[in-house]
Structure 1
Amino acid sequence: MVRAAQRTRRSRVAAVGALVVVYAGLTGCPGDPDRDAAPPPGAAGGAACPEAFAEAKAAVAAAEVTTVPWTGPTTGPRAPTGKTVVYIAQIMTNPGVAGAARGAVEAAHAVGWNLELIDGQGSPSGIQSAFTHALALNPDGIIVGGFDPGIAALQLAEADARGIPVVGWHAVGSPGPSQNPKLFTNITTKVEDVARISAQWIILHSGGTAGVVVFTDASIPFARRKSELITAALQACPAVRVLSTEDIPIPEGSTRTPRHISALVERFGDSWTHSVAINDLYFADAASALRKAGKRGAGPPYNIGAGDGDPVAFERIRGRQYEAATVPEPLLQQGWQIIDELNRAIARRPSSNFVPPVHLTTTANVGGATYWEPDNGYRNRYMTIWGR
Structure 2
Amino acid sequence: MHRNRKALPGIVKVRSVSLALLAAASALAGCERGSSNGPGVSTAGPGGCPAAQARAQTAVARAEKSEIPWNGPTSGSAAVSGKTIVYVAQTMTNPGVAGVAQGVKEAARVIGWNVRVIDGEGTPAGIQAALSEAVALRPSGIVIGGFDPNSTSQQVASATAARIPLIGWHAVASPGPSVKPRLFTNVTTNVDEVAAISAQWVISRSHGDAGVVLFTDASIPFAKHKSELIRKGLAACAGVRMLAYENIPIPDASSRTPREVSVLLSRFGSRWTYSVAINDLYFADAAPAFRSAGEKGSGPPFNIGAGDGDPSAFQRINSEQYQAATVPEPLSLQGWQILDEFNRAFSGRPASGYVAPVHISTAANSDGATAWDPSGYREAYRKIWGK
The TM tier, using the shorter chain, reads 0.7 to 0.9
What is the CA-CA distance between 1:363 and the residue it aligns to? 2.1
Distance between the aligned counterparts of 2:176 and 2:193, measured in 1?
Answer: 15
Aligned to 1:387: 386
Distance between the aligned counterparts of 2:237 and 2:382, measured in 1?
Answer: 46
**Quick check: 2:76–2:344 contact (8 Å CA) kept in 1?**
yes
Distance between the aligned counterparts of 2:356 and 2:237, measured in 1?
Answer: 28
Distance between the aligned counterparts of 1:299 and 1:307, measured in 2?
Answer: 20
SS of 1:200 mapped into structure 2: helix
Distance between the aligned counterparts of 1:230 and 1:330, measured in 2?
Answer: 20
**Quick check: 1:103–1:335 contact (8 Å CA) kept in 2?**
yes
SS of 1:144 mapped into structure 2: strand
1:161 to 2:149 alignment: no
1:116 to 2:116 alignment: yes
Please give the residue correspondences for 1:309-348 in structure 2 after superposition, counting only pairs within 5 Å: 309-348=309-348
What is the CA-CA distance between 1:71 and the residue it aligns to? 1.2
Map Cα deviations across residues 181-233 of structure 1 (whole Å, 9 max, x no partner): 11100000000100011001101111100000000000101000000000000
Aligned to 1:355: 355
Aligned to 1:38: none
Q: How many residues in Structure 1 have an aligned counterpart in Structure 2?
A: 344
1:194 to 2:194 alignment: yes
What is the CA-CA distance between 1:357 and the residue it aligns to? 0.4
Please give the residue correspondences for 1:206-285 in structure 2 after superposition, counting only pairs within 5 Å: 206-285=206-285
Aligned to 1:182: 182
Read off the aligned partner of 1:261 and give its amino acid letter.
V
**Quick check: 2:47–2:209 contact (8 Å CA) kept in 1?**
no
What is the CA-CA distance between 1:294 and the residue it aligns to? 1.3
Aligned to 2:127: 127
Distance between the aligned counterparts of 2:355 and 2:110, measured in 1?
Answer: 22
SS of 2:78 mapped into structure 1: coil
TM-score (norm 1): 0.87
**Quick check: 1:83–1:113 contact (8 Å CA) kept in 2?**
yes
Aligned to 2:74: 74
SS of 1:362 mapped into structure 2: coil
Aligned to 1:26: none
Distance between the aligned counterparts of 1:348 and 1:241, measured in 2?
Answer: 50
SS of 1:85 mapped into structure 2: strand
What is the CA-CA distance between 1:349 and the residue it aligns to? 1.0
**Quick check: 2:276–2:306 contact (8 Å CA) kept in 1?**
yes
1:83 to 2:88 alignment: no
TM-score (norm 2): 0.88
SS of 1:367 mapped into structure 2: coil
Read off the aligned partner of 2:217 and give its amino acid letter.
D
Distance between the aligned counterparts of 2:335 and 2:230, measured in 1?
Answer: 26
Who wins on radius of gyration, i.e. which is larger? 2
Aligned to 1:15: none
Map Cα deviations across residues 54-109 of structure 1 (whole Å, 9 max, x no partner): 11111111000001111111111111221001000000010000111100000011
**Quick check: 1:194–1:306 contact (8 Å CA) kept in 2?**
yes
Read off the aligned partner of 1:327 and give its amino acid letter.
V
Read off the aligned partner of 1:152 and give its amino acid letter.
T
SS of 1:370 mapped into structure 2: coil
1:60 to 2:60 alignment: yes
**Quick check: 2:80–2:347 contact (8 Å CA) kept in 1?**
no
Distance between the aligned counterparts of 2:111 and 2:291, measured in 1?
Answer: 46
**Quick check: 2:215–2:245 contact (8 Å CA) kept in 1?**
yes
Aligned to 1:31: none
SS of 1:316 mapped into structure 2: helix
Superposition misfits of 4+ residues, deviation over 6 angstroms: none
Read off the aligned partner of 1:91 and give its amino acid letter.
T
Read off the aligned partner of 2:361 and give its amino acid letter.
T
Distance between the aligned counterparts of 1:290 and 1:47, measured in 2?
Answer: 28
**Quick check: 1:308–1:326 contact (8 Å CA) kept in 2?**
yes
Read off the aligned partner of 2:320 and give its amino acid letter.
R
SS of 2:186 mapped into structure 1: strand
**Quick check: 2:208–2:240 contact (8 Å CA) kept in 1?**
yes
**Quick check: 1:211–1:243 contact (8 Å CA) kept in 2?**
yes
Distance between the aligned counterparts of 1:286 and 1:278, measured in 2?
Answer: 14
Aligned to 1:29: none
Read off the aligned partner of 2:316 and give its amino acid letter.
R
Distance between the aligned counterparts of 1:47 and 1:240, measured in 2?
Answer: 10
Distance between the aligned counterparts of 2:348 and 2:154, measured in 1?
Answer: 24
Aligned to 2:93: 93
SS of 2:70 mapped into structure 1: coil
- For structure 2, the residue ranges without an aligned partner over 5 or more in a row are 1-43
Aligned to 1:152: 152
Map Cα deviations across residues 11-43 of structure 1 (whole Å, 9 max, x no partner): xxxxxxxxxxxxxxxxxxxxxxxxxxxxxxxx9
**Quick check: 2:214–2:246 contact (8 Å CA) kept in 1?**
yes
**Quick check: 1:304–1:325 contact (8 Å CA) kept in 2?**
yes
**Quick check: 1:87–1:101 contact (8 Å CA) kept in 2?**
yes
Map Cα deviations across residues 131-185 of structure 1 (whole Å, 9 max, x no partner): 1110111100000110111121101011111110000000010000011111100
**Quick check: 1:317–1:366 contact (8 Å CA) kept in 2?**
no
Distance between the aligned counterparts of 2:240 and 2:317, measured in 1?
Answer: 23
Distance between the aligned counterparts of 2:194 and 2:59, measured in 1?
Answer: 12
Distance between the aligned counterparts of 2:203 and 2:363, measured in 1?
Answer: 17
